Amino acid sequence: MVTENKLVVDVHRMTKRFGNRTVVNKIDLQVEEGEIFGFLGPNGSGKTTFIRMLCGLLRADEGNGTCLGHDVIKESEIIKEQVGYMTQKFSFYEDLSIAENLDFVGRIYGVRNRREAVQQSLERLGLKERQQQLAGSLSGGWKQRLALAACLIHQPKLLLLDEPTAGVDPKARRDFWEQIQELAGQGLTFLITTHYMDEAERCNRLAYIAYGNLLIRGAVDEVIAYTHLNSWAVSGPELQKLAHELREQPGVEQAVAFGNSLHVSGSDPRALEEAIAPYREGGYKWKQVPSGLEDAFIHLMDASKDSFPS
Amino acid sequence: MIVKELIQMRRDRMTFAIMFGLPILQMLLFGFVINSDPRHLPTAVLLADNGPEARTLLSGLKNSTYFDFVRLVGTEQEGRSLLTRGEVQFVVNIPQSFSHDLLRGDKPAILLEADATDPIATSGGAGALGNIIHSAFQADFVGPLGFLAPAAESIDIRVHSLYNPEANTAYNIVPGLMGVVLTMTMVMITALAITREYERGTMENLLSMPLRASEVLVGKITPYVIVGYVQVGIILCVSRFLFKVPIHGNLLLLLLAALFFIAANLALGITFSTVARNQLQAMQMAMFVILPSILLSGFMFPFRGMPWWAQILGEILPITHFLRIARGVMLKGIGFADIGRELWPIMLFAGITLIVAVKRYRQTLD
């Protein structure tokens, strides 16, 4: 898997504690140049904290490594110049216009030919006509596009995007991802956190963290394969009742409704088949299906709950 | 609803503390500091006569507790320059052959020169002068000297109110107001500067950019220096054309002093901003400074009438020194040499607060 590609992020044993609570626990991570790396995990799992440590917003309590070839602990000022960080919450100035926001960022990074860069960015955004509009009056989707444009204005080599598509409609999300894939093709490296499975599937590689621990990392199919989950889809009458009953059975880890069918999965294939055997009759139609990423993650999340209480 | 408010109030320790601290502070300040009849005012004496009657007069003045003799001067110029620099409030001028003339019944004159830039401070002492002299000589002017009693009529008492002869309070208030307005707006505006970034969530972004603490702070302060100068301009115009307050001194000198004063206030505001966790706290901290700035600086009440601890507090505040500069330049026409004494405490204050701000400013979100 590891090729001779340049590592953009190469950190080891990164740890962050708030008080006596360990939020990020000895995470190792390598991200290659041009890669879109997805960072997944439940809320409060330490994704944001990890990203903030990478761009110097938080000091790591332990760990070392490099980001863009610079020491992630000591040279955060240099790293900041070459990294674009898009925060979870919109964090540009709502009382500045679109153009003024871009111009401000351009000035801080000391972008050469700033005016030109801002104009180009506005054109790419398709906001040339609305450049005088205040950023605060933009809708969620447009704010997100503005934020991305602002992160790109100094031509960073690495983009850290923290839940960039939260609260954005599907069309805007798709456009957003197309743009990211295009930029990745040009050699930019992305580290993206997300809760959306369809987005996770668009990443070259994924890492799943829970309670500050990195549980697994790899390509989408690798992650699914790792969990050894078997899944069945069932359709028929009174699926809610069936789901309740199935969840009580040993061997069944998940029974989740997807529209008119129910996805039942478990990691032990024989136990799973035994569990569903009594329900083979009675108008239910069963079909074995490949496990999805979501099934895999819920499995991981449940499993991690047991090994890392609270 | 009430319960929720009380819980939130309790969570916000700072606000809680200030809610109880502010009334106490106000009570202390108003209760102890306000003194519209200040005594123990520093006084210089120009003593050209050594006779026993001159001595009696001086001890009478001293016993009145209005006057504290701090200097003996040899010439009128020396006395005048002490007044100009604000080192003394009064100069008592006892002419040659005072005792001799008094005993001969020639009605000699004594001259009390008063720095009337603050009319309240001077009026007490000057007003009581007749009575003081009367009681000073009461014991002496008996028997053969009885013809001289009452003494107040045998002595020609002249009071010169310098710098503000009409005791126009506007002359005193308006230059002071410049200091108060600048303190209020400058401290308040910058106190909000960094907390606002935190509250709007823009700080995270700002911190992820390659900016140094000093760059952020200087960037936050500089625009308000311009605002401060606009305010100074407005106040000067209004005081000159509406209140007809004269500007005897060098306007450029005043503007130079204003620069340091504005910088000191902005530095203080930005320091609050780095300490406070939200905008409300920042505002309350600003209030904590603004109140003493009005009360302890000599703006509302004569500085020399305050108890010693209040004077020390007042000396720390930059506004106290700026007030002296503004009044000095506008009413007395003092020059650069004289304001230097008041300028360095302002600079020191600005420097220290700025260092605190840079130290307190957090480069990370930790």
Chain segment A229-272, per-residue pLDDT in tens: 889 999 888 888 888 888 888 888 888 888 888 889 988 888 88
The span from the CA of B171 to the CA of B162, in Å, is: 12
The answer to whether the CB atoms of B366 and A83 lie below 8 A apart is no
Instruction: Collect all residues of chain A within an 8 Å Cβ-Cβ radius of residue B208.
Output: 55-57, 80, 83, 85, 87
Residue B278 half-sphere exposure toward CB, CA atoms < 13 A: 8
pLDDT band at A4; cut points 50, 70, 90? low
State percent of chain A over pLDDT 70: 97
Instruction: Collect all residues of chain A within an 8 Å Cβ-Cβ radius of residue B201.
Output: 87, 89-91
**A44 Cα to chain B: minimum distance (Å):** 16
A80 in contact with B, Cβ within 8 Å: yes
The span from the CA of A144 to the CA of B134, in Å, is: 85
pLDDT band at A1; cut points 50, 70, 90? very low
Instruction: Collect all residues of chain A within an 8 Å Cβ-Cβ radius of residue B209.
Output: 80, 105, 108-109
Q: What is the pLDDT of residue A308?
A: 56
Q: What is the pLDDT of residue B263?
A: 93
Nearest to B208 among A55, A89, A94 (CB): A55
B174 contact partners, CB below 8 Å, separation of at least 6? B235, B238, B239, B243, B245
The answer to whether the CB atoms of B201 and A85 lie below 8 A apart is no
Instruction: Collect all residues of chain A within an 8 Å Cβ-Cβ radius of residue B203.
Output: 91
Q: What is the pLDDT of residue A305?
A: 67
The answer to whether the CB atoms of B364 and A94 lie below 8 A apart is no
pLDDT tens track for A86-123:
998 899 999 999 999 999 999 999 999 999 999 999 99
Q: Give CATH for domain B41-162.
A: 3.40.1710.10
DSSP state of B115: E
The span from the CA of A163 to the CA of A40, in Å, is: 10
The answer to whether the CB atoms of B201 and A87 lie below 8 A apart is yes
Query: Domain spans of chain A?
Result: 7-220, 230-290
The span from the CA of A74 to the CA of A80, in Å, is: 12
Q: What is the pLDDT of residue A185?
A: 92
Report residue B179 as tokens: 């200091």
The answer to whether the CB atoms of A83 and B208 lie below 8 A apart is yes
Residue A181 half-sphere exposure toward CB, CA atoms < 13 A: 12
Write down the residue that tokens 């003339």 correspond to.
B101
Q: What is the pLDDT of residue A310?
A: 45
Cβ neighbourhood burial of B217 (10 Å; 0-12, 13-18, 19+): buried
SS3 A154: coil
Query: If we measure between CA atoms, which residue out of B366, B359, B358, B364 comes closest to residue B207?
Result: B364
A230-290, which class in CATH?
A: alpha beta
- The CA-CA-CA angle for residues A118, A120, A123, to 5°, reads 110
- The CA-CA-CA angle for residues A186, A190, A194, to 5°, reads 140
Q: What is the pLDDT of residue A177?
A: 92
The span from the CA of A154 to the CA of A134, in Å, is: 22
Per-residue pLDDT for chain B (366 aa), expressed as one digit of tens each? 888 888 888 887 777 777 788 788 888 877 777 766 788 888 998 888 888 888 888 888 888 888 888 888 888 888 888 888 888 889 988 888 888 888 888 888 888 888 888 887 888 888 888 888 888 887 777 777 777 767 667 788 888 888 887 777 788 888 888 999 999 999 998 998 888 998 888 999 999 998 888 888 889 999 999 999 999 999 999 888 888 888 888 889 999 999 999 999 999 999 999 888 888 888 888 888 888 888 888 888 888 888 888 889 899 999 999 999 998 888 888 888 888 888 999 999 999 999 999 888 887 777
Beta bridge partner(s), residue A42: none
Instruction: Collect all residues of chain A within an 8 Å Cβ-Cβ radius of residue B210.
Output: 77, 80-81, 108-109
Q: What is the pLDDT of residue A2?
A: 45
List the alpha helices (DSSP H) in B92-168.
98-103, 119-137, 151-154
Average pLDDT for residues A38-47, to the nearest whole number? 88
- The CA-CA-CA angle for residues A125, A130, A134, to 5°, reads 105
The answer to whether the CB atoms of B210 and A77 lie below 8 A apart is yes
Report residue B257 as tokens: 């002093």
Query: Domain spans of chain B?
Result: 41-162, 168-360
A224 contact partners, CB below 8 Å, separation of at least 6? A290, A291, A292, A293, A295, A296
Give which of A91, A92, A93, A154 to mutate to test B binding, by max B Cβ within 10 Å.
A91
The answer to whether the CB atoms of A58 and B365 lie below 8 A apart is yes
Give which of B204, B215, B363 to mutate to test A binding, by max A Cβ within 10 Å.
B204
Report residue A289 as tokens: 């299906």
Do domains A7-220 and A230-290 share one topology? The answer is no
Nearest to A108 among B201, B209, B365 (CB): B209
**B198 Cα to chain A: minimum distance (Å):** 10
A17 in contact with B, Cβ within 8 Å: no
The answer to whether the CB atoms of A90 and B366 lie below 8 A apart is no
- Asked if the peptide bond before residue B150 counts as cis, ω within 30 degrees of 0, the response is yes
Report residue A97 as tokens: 């216009």
The answer to whether the CB atoms of A91 and B202 lie below 8 A apart is yes
Burial A125-159 (b: 16+ CB within 10 A, else e): bebeebbeeebeebeebbbbbbbbbbbbbbebbbb
A97 contact partners, CB below 8 Å, separation of at least 6? A131, A132, A133, A134, A135
Q: What is the pLDDT of residue B214?
A: 86
The answer to whether the CB atoms of B204 and A87 lie below 8 A apart is yes
The span from the CA of B127 to the CA of A177, in Å, is: 85
Q: Are B249 and B257 in contact (CB under 8 A)?
A: no
CATH architecture under which domain A7-220 falls: 3-Layer(aba) Sandwich (3.40)
Q: What is the pLDDT of residue B186?
A: 92
The answer to whether the CB atoms of B208 and A93 lie below 8 A apart is no
A85 in contact with B, Cβ within 8 Å: yes
Q: What are the two backbone dihedrals, phi and then psi, of residue A138, each rounded to the nearest 5 degrees? A: -80, 155
Chain B residue with CA closest to A87: the answer is B205
pLDDT tens track for A232-244:
999 888 888 888 8
